[in-house]
Structure formats: C-alpha cells, structure tokens
C-alpha cells in the first residue's frame, strides 16, 4: 500500500502526539506515512482540496468536510481552560467590542478555525476580520496593524510577557454558555479508505500518545525542532494543556461535546446539516 499522507501542525501538542508514530518508535503495522506539517488553517485548506488522507484540522472546518472525511476518536485537542483568547494592546471594554464589533479590526488564525467559530458565537456582529498565520497575530496587535487578535497555541502562554491584554477567554465563554468541554481540533481521515485502515490508524495514534506519555523524553528533540517557542516551560505547558485523556480517546463525554458544538453551529446558521456518521465505526 502507498504511504498515507498525514498532516499535523508543528505545535508541541501535535509533534508530541505523533512523534512515536512518524519516527517509528512503535510498530506501524505495515503502514507508511508521508508527513506534511502546516499551521491549522493550512491543514484545513489542504483538507478542503482533498490533498491529505489523514489530517489534524479544526472541528469547525470538519463541518464542511463531512462528505469527504470522518473523525477519529484519538489525537484530539479537547478540554477545559484551553480555548482561544481575544487580546489587544490597550484595554477595550466588552461593551465596545460588542457595540462596535464591525469597526474593530480583529486578526484571526483562519476563517475555518474553531477559534473563529467561537468568536462568531460570542460576537456575531464582529465582521472586520483579518486572516493571518497564528504566530503573526501578537506582533500585528503590538504594531497596531489590528485592534485585537485571536490567539491560539503557544501564544496563550506568551502574550502577557509582551504587554498584551486579555479581552476575553473564549474557552471560558464557551464553558459558561454550554457547560461542555471545548472541541478545538481533531483528526480526520479520508472517508473512502477501507474501514480496517481507518481503525488501524486510530489505534496507532492512540499507541503513539501512550508511548509519548510513558517516555516523555523521547519526543523532546522532535518537539523542540518544530516549536515556535523554544523555552522549555512554554513547550511543557502547551503539551500539558492540549494533550490529555481526551486526546487518547474522546469517549462518550468528548463525543458529546463535539456533537453539541455542531448542533449549536447549525442552530446559529453557521453550518448546514451534518450526517450522523461523522465518526468512524
């Protein structure tokens, strides 16, 4: 069988998860992988073009791809206190953000990111959005290129040290509104692949995570060489926040959070109807 194209981000949580798999620290059971790294919106767009067999993508983006892909229950970024944060250089009251959202220029890490989905739920009138790579958002806010920025990944741990202010934690907003965990990103696999291959990939990702947890030093070099931030405590904090038991297996609670997100998105007219078989069997 030809190598399966596999996309994930260079962020510490993804490289930590996939290290054992792509560097063959575990038995890949005859499967080969052609790895393609990219930021989350790049991966979302590759999935829209059907370029990847398996990919990390935003749960928001998957809503438009359910005809081509299905979700795995391993490899997800889902949890509590891990959502995107809306920041600015100077304090801006929430009242201003709400009443003048269309005028505020807000940097977002991509149209199809879950971060933008949450922003759309919190501030539906905020329309003046500028898409950019997530790692460029802090500097865009600092330089005054935009009024506010929606940050994800490592920037959650660095914005305060740069003098930036938190306007709203959209993760807290979501948890207060729904009482559910935040589904940020998941692993999607091409729907047309044989069922046995899909199940095997899910199992291998789960084994890769288990290996990473059992051997935390094994992935350090791979994680560090791809990370935007090199400070050890930032990398560790990133992994600790985004890789958890739901990454190993979403389980009933995690799956319920994902389905609830889509139900809310449909109710708000953000996405159309989804099929029932969004997860592999």
- Known catalytic residues are 153
In this structure, which long-range contacts are made by residues 243-246, counting pairs with CB atoms below 8 Å and at least 24 apart in sequence? Answer: 243/13, 243/16, 243/17, 243/77, 243/209, 243/212, 244/78, 244/79, 246/76, 246/78, 246/79, 246/181
Give the CA angle between residues 268, 272, 277 to the nearest 5°.
120
Rounded distance between C-alpha atoms, residue 214 and residue 211, angstroms: 5
- Residue 191: both structure tokens together: 């729907």
* Backbone phi and psi for residue 152, each to the nearest 5 degrees, phi listed first: -140, 180
Residue by residue, DSSP assigns 93-135 as: -HHHHHHTTTTS-EEES-TTSHHHHHHHHH-TT---EEE--GG
Residue 71: is it exposed, middle or buried by C-beta count within 10 angstroms (0-12/13-18/19+)? buried
How far is C-alpha 223 from the geometric centre of its chain's CA atoms?
17
Residue 214: is it exposed, middle or buried by C-beta count within 10 angstroms (0-12/13-18/19+)? exposed
CB count within 10 Å of CB 211 equals 16
């Amino acid at each position: 069988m030809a190598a399966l194209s596999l996309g994930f981000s260079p962020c510490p949580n993804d490289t930590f998860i996939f290290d054992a798999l792509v560097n063959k620290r575990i038995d890949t059971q005859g499967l080969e992988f052609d790895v393609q790294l990219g930021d989350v919106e790049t991966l979302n767009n590759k999935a829209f073009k059907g370029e990847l067999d398996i990919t990390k993508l935003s749960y928001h983006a998957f809503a438009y791809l359910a005809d081509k892909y299905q979700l795995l229950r391993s490899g997800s970024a889902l949890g509590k206190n891990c959502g995107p944060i809306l920041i600015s250089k100077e304090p801006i009251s929430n009242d201003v953000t709400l009443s003048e959202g269309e005028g505020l220029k807000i940097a977002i890490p991509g149209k199809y990111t879950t971060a933008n989905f949450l922003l759309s739920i919190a501030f539906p009138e905020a329309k003046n959005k500028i898409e950019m790579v997530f790692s460029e958002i802090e500097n865009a806010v600092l330089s005054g290129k935009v009024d506010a920025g929606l940050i994800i990944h490592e920037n959650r741990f660095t914005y305060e040290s740069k003098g930036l202010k938190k306007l709203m934690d959209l993760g807290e907003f979501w948890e207060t509104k729904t009482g559910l965990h935040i589904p940020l990103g998941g692993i999607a696999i091409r729907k047309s692949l044989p069922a046995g291959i899909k199940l095997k990939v899910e199992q291998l990702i789960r084994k890769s995570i288990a290996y990473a947890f059992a051997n935390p030093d094994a992935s350090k070099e791979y994680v560090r060489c791809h990370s935007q931030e090199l400070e050890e405590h930032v990398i560790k904090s990133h992994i600790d926040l985004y890789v958890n038991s739901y990454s190993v297996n979403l389980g009933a609670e995690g799956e319920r959070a994902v389905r609830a997100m889509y139900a809310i998105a449909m109710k708000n007219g953000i996405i159309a109807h989804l099929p029932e078989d969004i997860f592999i069997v």
